[in-house]
Structure 1
């Protein structure tokens, strides 16, 4: 059993940075994909079969792009949450250290129960 919990703030912040970079890259890739697939026009034609295919294709494509954008947004949100968690932990640690410093007796020893 461990004696305590150690939090590596540098590693936590590095993980947040990595997730943020991945989220930004993912978002750029989705934008590129969207430009590519939308730039093709309507290659399926305007006849009945082409129109049916085109309607289904556009609906599925729209949903897929929405899901992909959401995934990128979730990566960015998770990165922000990791950063906020690191900030909160750091603030709590500073507050705890200050409280323990204030509890010390004039001779330098800590108060004991």
Structure 2
């Protein structure tokens, strides 16, 4: 049996903020990792084998950082989108509340 899902703007907003914070921490960690990796220089040397290894290593490293950066951006986007959805829900709830209040006043009236 399925249990109903309860959605509240407050929870959505809170979770969106947490996702945004997580994305920011991921971005900071990725920058730190890139600085560490780049800080090692080129330890493989400048001979033929070192140059061959360096070319492959840099290609793989670039692809890896691109992929990780994409995931970081997706987490940040999800946090912002969830916060925006929470605001949208708040607006819908406020509009419905006002509409029902107005209708109840007219019926009583």
Distance 1:86 1:34 in 2: 35
Q: Which runs of 4+ in 1 moved over 4 A?
A: none
CA distance in 2, matches of 1:68, 1:106: 57
Give the equivalent residue in structure 1 for 2:34.
34
Equivalent residue number for residue 77 of structure 1 = 77
Q: Structure 1 stretch 88-97 or stretch 5-14: which is displaced more?
A: 5-14
Number of aligned residue pairs: give it.
108
Measured after TM superposition, the shift of residue 105 of structure 1 is: 4.8
Q: Does 2:47 match 1:60? A: no
Structure number with greater CO (CA < 8 Å, separation at least 6) is 2
Q: Measure how far apart 1:98 and its partner are.
A: 1.2
Deviates more, 1:30-39 or 1:100-109: 100-109
1:74-111 per-position Cα deviation (integer Å, ceiling 9, x unaligned): 111000010011000110111111111222254638xx
Counterpart for residue 12 of structure 1: 12
**How many Å apart are 1:5 and its aligned residue?**
6.3
Give ranges in structure 2 of 5+ residues lacking alignment.
none
Which has the larger Rg? 1
Q: Which residue number in structure 1 is paired with residue 91 of structure 2?
A: 91
Q: Which has the higher helix share?
A: 2
TM-score, normalised to structure 1, is: 0.85
Secondary structure of 2:104's aligned partner:
coil
Matches within 5 A, 1:93-108: 93-106=93-106, 108=108
The separation in 1 between residues aligned to 2:18 and 2:55, in whole angstroms, is: 38
